[in-house]
Chain A
Amino acid sequence: MSEQDRIVEHIPRLRRYARALVGRAGEADDLVQDTLARAMDRLHTWRPERDLRVWLFALMHNLHVDQGRARRARPEVALGEEALAAPAPGAGEPPDVLAHRRLAWALARLPEPQRQVVLLVSLEQLTYDEVARALELPVGTVMSRLSRGRAALRALLQGEGLGPQLEVVK
């Protein structure tokens, strides 16, 4: 199997992480597309002994950071007041849809460095060492961001009365 085929195998998980990281599906897929293009261009720098998945997350992370700088340099639309409030239940909205919206809302409120670590650990199930390699951070920094990120997420969800619902999901 070629390296290209192996990269293709990782696309679903790259999309999952990007969706949780970025929020909107279109923007998330843009990030995945850019990541894949960069991976193809830089395939010659990848070493067989390196974990391909960690390398792909590292590429995605660096692109996301670069694009974040560009976004901040030219802010688009100021967030409206409604973006600051937690989502309220819509009429006849199924509970899982509301839970999803609230989770997305809480994630969006985490400082991005914490959001990345929480998602790579909890959603992508990377080891702490793999997260450290993907984000090019010391493991100690990964652990402190994980701790702060989880505390912030818990406060956001409990503050919005989602604590008990999340307990039920377990």
Chain B
Amino acid sequence: MTPHDPSPITEDELHAYADGLLPDGRRGAVEAHLAAHAEDAARVRSWSAATAALHAAFDTVLDEPIPARLTPPRARSRLVPRLAAAAALLAAGGAGWLLRGAVGPGESPSVGAPLAHQAAVAHAVYVPEVRHPVEVGAAEEGHLVAWLSKRLGAPLRAPHLGVQGWDLVGGRLLPGERGPVAFFMYADASGRRLTLYVARAAAGETGTAFRFSQEGAVGVFTWVDRNMGYALSGELPRPELLRVADAVYAQIER
């Protein structure tokens, strides 16, 4: 408002004014400047007009149907069949090959069975993946653990199983019955894979001993510890899987 422009208006501030990015404290000063400088006012008007014209010309793209080829490759060729495969396994329920032997007709599943089943489904779906078995690789273990901990709302750790011959491949986030699930994958020197599935336990389940389920070819050890459910899955002999489960349990307990 002062005739002497004590605090000169910069070119950047004119743009910020036109773009609605100017701090409130400077708005009055810029408006006073524009009232006194017709050419700057005309420039600012032309910028706003060009912005409006750009939206008028290109916003219609937002309403166009997205061409099929732009569905992300992973979502189309990998994720969707993978989810469909998992859904088919889940829908098959007690008759599915994964559950054969785990739950007999008329028998209600044990506490560990849903967790074991879900973990075995995830194991069966992701272990055959060659290119993208995990979302975040072991090289970024710190990030992986921080990310999954944040999403589960509980401090997690990826057990180190090198002594047992298993190296961390990486991990991913999965949807589960009670929210997000952390899923870690390990591989041994011969290329076999193990997965560790970590989910929030049902209310009231604070701790259980190991349970073993055989879900088709996949053996699963499950347990609950401090409100978290764990399932270690692998196509290995039961004693070998148990040794790894012991190591996982010991590290999480620590």
Contact = CB atoms under 8 A, between A and B. Distances in A.
Contacts of B52: 166, 169-170
Contact of A32 (B12, B15, B70, B150): B70
B77 to A, nearest CB: 10
Contacts of B21: 127-128
Interface of A is mostly: helix
A29 B70 contact: yes
A122 B66 contact: no
Interface stretch (B24-32, B54-62, B93-101, B241-249): B54-62
B73 A103 contact: no
A112 to B, nearest CB: 16
B64 interface: yes
Interface string B7-26: 00001100110010100000
B67 interface: yes
A126 to B, nearest CB: 10
Nearest to B72: A36
A32 B72 CA distance: 10
Interface stretch (A43-51, A70-78, A86-94): A43-51
Residue of B48, B54, B63, B137 most packed against chain A (CB within 10 A): B54
Contacts, number: 121
Contact of A12 (B49, B66, B143): B66
B37 interface: no
Interface string A142-164: 01001100110110011000010
A29 B51 CA distance: 23
A100 B79 contact: no
A170 B48 contact: yes
B69 A29 contact: yes
Nearest to A125: B19
Nearest to A167: B49
Interface stretch (B39-47, B189-197, B203-211, B214-222): B39-47
B107 interface: no
A157 B72 contact: no
Contact of B15 (A104, A146, A163): A146
B53 A143 contact: no
B50 A122 contact: yes
Contacts of B16: 128
Contact of A143 (B11, B66, B67): B11
A44 B137 contact: yes
A166 B53 CA distance: 7
A13 B62 contact: yes
- Please indicate which of the listed interface residues B50, B51, B59, B69 has the most CB atoms of chain A within 10 Å of its own CB: B50
13 contacts: A4-B74, A7-B72, A12-B64, A39-B72, A47-B143, A122-B51, A123-B54, A123-B58, A143-B15, A147-B11, A151-B43, A166-B52, A167-B45
* Across the A-B interface, the 9 shortest Cβ-Cβ residue pairs: A122-B51, A166-B49, A16-B61, A170-B49, A40-B74, A100-B57, A12-B62, A154-B46, A123-B54
Given A12-B61, A123-B58, A166-B46, 7 more contacts: A7-B72, A12-B64, A15-B61, A47-B143, A123-B51, A123-B54, A157-B46
